[in-house]
Amino acid sequence: MAMVETPLVANPVAGTGQETVISCERLHKTYTTAFGELFRLPGVTALSDLNMEVFRGEVFAMIGPNGSGKTTTLKLLMGLIFPTRGACRLFGRNPKRDVSVKRRIGFMPDGPYFYGHLNGFELLEFYANLLGMDAARRKRRIPELLDMVGMTNRAKNRLRTYSKGMVQRIGLAHALLNDPEIVFLDEPTSGLDPIGARDIRDVVVRMKAEGKTVFLCSHFLTEIENLCDRVILLDRGRTLRYGALEELLVEPGKMRLTVSGASDALKDQLGKVGRLRRSSENRPSTDLILKDGPDIGAAVKLIQDAGAHLDSILPMRRTLEDVFMEAVQRTQADRPWDAIDADDAEDSPAAPAETPVATADGSEES
């Protein structure tokens, strides 16, 4: 009897009203060689059972140390390589089987390489022709993109004369040529000066305002913290953290009370309740860090009795770098590389490279 799979379609997620445009279900990739398959040798697992959803119109970030599986994930999502097992969907379709989805996506790789003998305008004209854009649309779209990425004045210069930052800018214009619904950006601000990096961030904000989905991979965590709605953190192919950025940054069980006008005597009393530090904001105030619970009521009473002003009571918030370092260091301490390698050897199937996944119509696809 044919299996029936619950289709991973681009429909609103139950209870959220958000449309899923990228979905992964137990997505797994192990790299092997023909020699290794012949003698049933273990391969190298780059991605292990990834489960993930990305919604239309959001800026989604994938972060992790080098070798964590980010580039492998991007290649799987775009159908450039195929999974060992599991499934991924763009707009509810398998990018391996349905190449039409590629007309709806754009990709800017880390360190793009282009033909050096062409100038910026000629490069975009060449790729626009490959995309099947008519002359009228090319005439309108190319100058618009050159202006968007700040390359109008250098459009007639050959690419071999471009700096790395200029190549990044023209690479972003290339990724946006077909006005894609999903844009994959791999280290988009690498090699850019502060002005260029800000311009790229402005383009990302503009794309989000236009309802596009931006899938971002970057090592610049402050940049991600300022841009992204949700984040997934990988390490050695495994998911460590996944969810809304604000939820990930809240430090569980800790609160921050900001007090102004506190005397030294009051600070001494508050120091017995929690941990004092100077406020990070540009004003003469003091932060009290303490556990969520009855100590908050005691601290508030001390502040009121002393005649000081309680400015705010907020959940303690960490930086994305704090979350990243804590998760990665803990995982690498608990599961050193040799333990991971041993797991990979056990997980590496001598089985077929691709496990069939049943579709809604009862057929099977690899």
pLDDT tens digits for range 46-64: 999 999 999 999 999 999 9
What is the rounded average pLDDT of the residues 111-120? 91
Q: What is the pLDDT of residue 333?
A: 60
Lowest pLDDT segment from 17-26, 74-83, 347-356: 347-356
Distance CA 164, CA 112 (A): 9
Tell me what pLDDT residue 15 has: 47
- 3-class state of residue 358 by DSSP: strand
Which region, left, alpha or beta, applies to residue 261 given φ > 0 means left and ψ of -120 to 50 means alpha? left
Contact present, 280 and 287 (Cβ < 8 Å): yes
What pLDDT score was predicted for residue 358? Answer: 44
CATH code of 20-236+335-365, in short, is 3.40.50.300
- For residue 206, give Cα distances in angstroms to 48, 59, 213, 275: 34, 11, 11, 41
Span 254-289, pLDDT tens digits: 888 899 988 889 889 888 888 888 766 556 788 888
pLDDT of residue 252: 80
Q: Is the pLDDT of residue 12 over 50?
A: no
Q: Which residues contact 343 (CB under 8 A, 6 or more apart)?
A: none
* Residue 61: count of CB within 10 angstroms of its CB: 24
Report whether pLDDT(353) > 70.
no
Mean pLDDT on 313-323: 87
pLDDT at 209 over 80: yes
- Tokens read off for 51: 């489960």
Cross-strand bridge partners of residue 365? 357
pLDDT at 362 over 70: no
The kind and range of the H/E element at 86 are strand 85-90
Give the residue carrying structure tokens 């449309």. 19
The span from the CA of 188 to the CA of 110, in Å, is 7
Confidence of residue 315 (pLDDT cuts 50, 70, 90): confident
- Tell me the CATH architecture of domain 251-317: 2-Layer Sandwich (3.30)
What is the full DSSP assignment across 245-292?
Answer: HHHHHEEEEEEEEEEES--HHHHHHHHTTSEEEE-SSSSSEEEEEEES
Cβ neighbours of residue 336 under 8 Å, at least 6 residues apart?
none
Contact yes or no for 208/51 (Cβ under 8 A): no
Pairwise CA distance, residues 22 & 88, whole Å? 7
Comparing 123-132, 209-218, 332-341, 342-351, the range with the smallest average pLDDT is 342-351
Question: Does position 363 have pLDDT exceeding 70, yes or no?
Answer: no
CA distance 102 to 361: 23
The mean pLDDT of 56-74, rounded to a whole number, is 94
Q: What is the pLDDT of residue 173?
A: 95
Least confident of 112-116, 327-331, 355-359: 355-359
Q: What is the pLDDT of residue 318?
A: 85
Cα–Cα distance measured from residue 60 to residue 54, given in angstroms and rounded to the nearest whole number: 7
Mean pLDDT comparison of 26-30, 35-39, 267-271, highest-scoring range: 26-30
354 has pLDDT over 60: no
Cβ-count burial 220-252 (b if 16+ within 10 Å, e if not): bbebbbebbbbbbbbbbbbbbbbeebeebbeee
Q: 238 pLDDT band (50/70/90 cuts)?
A: very high
User: What's the pTM?
Assistant: 0.77
Closest CA to 316 of 360, 253, 362: 253
Q: Round the average pLDDT of the chain to a whole number and report it.
A: 84
Q: What is the model's pLDDT at position 8? A: 35
pLDDT at 126: 95
Question: What pLDDT sits at residue 36?
Answer: 75
Task: Write down the domain spans for the chain.
Answer: 20-236+335-365, 251-317
